[in-house]
Amino acid sequence: MCGRYTMFLKPEDLKKRFRATVSDEVVQKIAKPRYNLAPTQDVPIITNTSGERIAEMVRWGLIPSWAKDETIASKLINARAETLLEKPSFKNAFQKRRCLVIANGFYEWKSSAPGSKKTSRSAPKQPMYVRLKSQEPFAMAGLWEEWKHPETREIIKSCTIITTEPNDLIATLHHRMAVILSPHDEDMWLDDSLPTQDLLRLLKPFSSDALETYPVSSRINTVSADEAGMIERVEMASEARSDKAEQVSLFG
């Protein structure tokens, strides 16, 4: 799945890389680098409006147009590629409202005791940062919706990130991964004329060879924490415990 990610691309670089029109309002909102984007927060997406790529800020966590209230959003931060055409929450958006969710990287959590048959649910997990080896920004396949609040009549735009089976690298961390699109596939994903089966073929695991992952601070577990140091490499918690045990044995 994808539950936390980063987006620190400068507005001018976003315009250039994704060939998008970015309003002054969006420029102001993405001017501050984000190193810990979490569900229900506003995130930047790119939509195709009459053939033009438009950058918008929307809430992460899809609210279907038919929803009675917005609490459903927390359950719809991700959408499984395999069931997009079956789930009422995603079927219509898949056909008509696809988007690019812009990121520099994302986080997953690695078990502190990989391979253990008795790993406790409460056992601490090591946060891992995943990014392209090139360190270039990328787009995740997403869907977006508009929902009108039944009382205030406010229009809320929201999105979800599509996930698929993991590649070999991500499989060591989680059983799902976000669908990362190549630049060529980005064009296809936003193409309103593309047949359904062609769209579904885009929802595949990204190449392991193009990605890298490394351990980062557990501060990522705090939603309010959001600074550049969060993507700095740290020592694996399991390695630190092993080193400490060895030191006690040698010098105790």
pLDDT (average), residues 89-114: 90
Alpha carbon 85 to its chain's center: 21
Predicted TM-score of the model (pTM): 0.90
Residue 179 lies in a domain: yes
- pLDDT at res. 249: 34
pLDDT (average), residues 170-196: 96
Closest to 46 in 3D by CA, of 75, 11, 81: 11
Instruction: State pLDDT tens for residues 33-47.
Output: 999 999 999 999 999
Residue range(s) defining the domain that contains residue 190: 5-105+136-208
Residue 94: left (phi > 0), alpha (psi -120 to 50), or beta?
Answer: alpha
pLDDT (average), residues 198-210: 97
Kindly list the catalytic residues. Answer: 2, 108
Total of domains in the chain: 1
Phi first, then psi, for residue 37 (nearest 5°) are -70, 130
- pLDDT at res. 117: 46
Residue 112 lies in a domain: no
Cβ–Cβ under 8 Å, residues 59 and 42: yes
- pLDDT at res. 124: 79
Which is more confident, 71 or 244? 71
Residue 240 lies in a domain: no
Please give the share of the chain, as a percent, with pLDDT higher than 70: 89
Which is more confident, 122 or 200? 200
- Helix and strand numbers (H, E) in the chain are 6, 13
Residue 39 lies in a domain: yes
Give the DSSP letter of residue 206.
P
- pLDDT at res. 144: 98
Residue 33 lies in a domain: yes
Residue 165 lies in a domain: yes
DSSP SS3 for 187: helix
Instruction: State pLDDT tens for residues 189-199.
Output: 999 999 999 99
Residue 169 lies in a domain: yes
Q: How far apart are CA 120 and CA 112, in angstroms?
A: 10
Give the domain CATH number at 72.
Answer: 3.90.1680.10
Instruction: State pLDDT tens for residues 129-167.
Output: 999 999 999 999 999 999 999 888 899 999 999 999 999
- pLDDT at res. 146: 96
- pLDDT at res. 250: 34
Residue 127 lies in a domain: no
Q: How far apart are CA 113 and CA 119, in angstroms?
A: 6
pLDDT (average), residues 199-211: 97
